[in-house]
Amino acid sequence: MSREQRITDEEGRVLLKSLTQPELAEWLTQELGEKPFRAKQIWRWLYVALVSDFEEMTDISKDLRAKLQEKARIDTISLHDERIAQDGTTKLLWKLDTGAIIESVMIPADKRNTLCISSQVGCAMNCQFCYTARMGFQSNLATAEIVDQVVQARRHFDKKDIRLTNIVFMGMGEPLHNPNNVIPATNILCDRKGLSFGTRKVTVSTSGLAPEIERFGRESDARLAVSLNATTDEIRDWIMPINRRYPLGVLLDTLKDYPYKEHERVTFEYVMLRDVNDSMEDAARIVELTRDIPCKINLIPFNPHKGTEFVSSPMERIREFQQFLLSKNLVTTVRETRGDDGMAACGQLGKLGDRSPKRMTPPERFEAVLNLDDQTMGSHSG
């Protein structure tokens, strides 16, 4: 395989859900001596029938099933726990072969049921308002471990007569920090002869890795979301350290040159932090920054977690912010907070380990408005 990607487990068995359909056909013909059409059969069993055992593949010979049992794997993760919030938001905790736990969240709504999936164990981006960031980075997920969150969640929720309609890569990790596994995962999810999610129903969110955004635009048909969260480099350098590598000018130029498909717009996600990024001056700057970019704005009330110094903007301010952007003809929505009582809301996933990344020192003028206790202050680093 040409991609630098983990496609086998520690025992050398191929992770079938790490392979696109052409790669599956290549492996079957070159390694097992089978005809290419077998790939289409196996693909349907994996992604339409959603089988978990090779013996369920009844139109495949016993000999081939025995080979597959020896040399390949179907499932790569196992359900460790399920936690249901009061509003019906459901967090699924999955266990990896390594013993690490990752999380997916099913968010129900009237006309859609969205599954938020993870792409890494932890995250290296160190965004200051995100709980997952405080885990630090532990490992990338294989394509199979990403796809399996969707396959096994679909099995799980089908039993409850809940149909998954949308997939968002907004769980643990920075998806474009793991492009070799995330990009093929999006293509597997959108394959019309398999899981068959429409390309407009799969969204990958990034903190702003400019070169990987360019690659994503070339290699994936899924939709793109970008966590903006600030309108000046000064603030974004602080709350999103990736901005020091790819500042706003670089990021926005990349999005201006992005290969948008017909009627496609990037979604700018904007976490509303009280007295940090929620002034009307910020709203005016958003209008200027996004002027030449086909986009929509999604305002996200900050979801608190233990130890954070940030507070969400009041809803009155969020609505005022929204109305200003709407008045400037920017499509602007406010994300409804879901699952926050079960630590299943945006920015709340994960479990802290023994070591957390160092906190970034805020500009001095912000210290008076932040909720800085002794523990938080003691962990700040320039």
More confident position, 370 or 380: 370
Quickly state the pLDDT bin for 366 (edges 50, 70, 90): confident
pLDDT in tens, 31-81: 999 999 999 999 999 999 999 999 999 999 999 999 999 999 999 999 999
The torsion of the CA quartet 194, 197, 200, 202, rounded to 10 degrees, works out to: -100
pLDDT of res. 374: 41
Question: What distance in Å separates the CA atoms of residue 114 and residue 260, rounded to the nearest whole number?
Answer: 23
The pLDDT of residue 239 is above 90: yes
Quickly state the pLDDT bin for 306 (edges 50, 70, 90): confident
pLDDT in tens, 11-23: 999 999 999 999 9
The pLDDT of residue 341 is above 70: no
Given the residues 103, 212, 269, 309, the one annotated as active site: 103
pLDDT in tens, 85-100: 888 999 999 999 999 9
**pTM as predicted:** 0.92
The pLDDT of residue 1 is above 80: no
Pairing of strands 266-272, 223-227: parallel
Question: What distance in Å separates the CA atoms of residue 379 and residue 360, rounded to the nearest whole number?
Answer: 9
pLDDT of res. 375: 45
More confident position, 370 or 114: 114
Quickly state the pLDDT bin for 356 (edges 50, 70, 90): confident
What mean pLDDT is reported for the chain? 91
Question: What distance in Å separates the CA atoms of residue 65 and residue 51, rounded to the nearest whole number?
Answer: 13
Would you kindly state where each structural domain of the chain is located, as residue ranges? 14-73, 78-381
Quickly state the pLDDT bin for 350 (edges 50, 70, 90): low
pLDDT of res. 365: 78
Question: What distance in Å separates the CA atoms of residue 143 and residue 30, rounded to the nearest whole number?
Answer: 21
pLDDT of res. 371: 63
The pLDDT of residue 381 is above 60: no
Residues 351-364 have a mean pLDDT of 75
> For residue 192, with 0-12 CB atoms within 10 Å meaning exposed, 13-18 middle and 19 or more buried, which class applies?
exposed
Q: Do domains 14-73 and 78-381 have the same CATH topology?
A: no
346 is catalytic: yes
Q: Which of 238, 314, 303 is nearest to 271 (CA)?
A: 303
CATH of region 14-73, choose from 3.40.50.150, 3.40.50.1970, 3.30.70.2740, 1.10.150.530: 1.10.150.530
Residues 177-192 have a mean pLDDT of 97
pLDDT of res. 349: 67
pLDDT in tens, 105-160: 999 988 899 999 999 999 999 999 998 888 999 999 999 999 999 999 999 999 99
Question: What distance in Å separates the CA atoms of residue 129 and residue 310, rounded to the nearest whole number?
Answer: 7
Q: Left, alpha or beta for 288 (phi > 0: left; psi -120 to 50: alpha)?
A: alpha
pLDDT of res. 293: 98
Question: What distance in Å separates the CA atoms of residue 81 and residue 351, rounded to the nearest whole number?
Answer: 14
Please tell me the class of the 78-381 domain.
Answer: alpha beta
103 is catalytic: yes
pLDDT of res. 261: 93
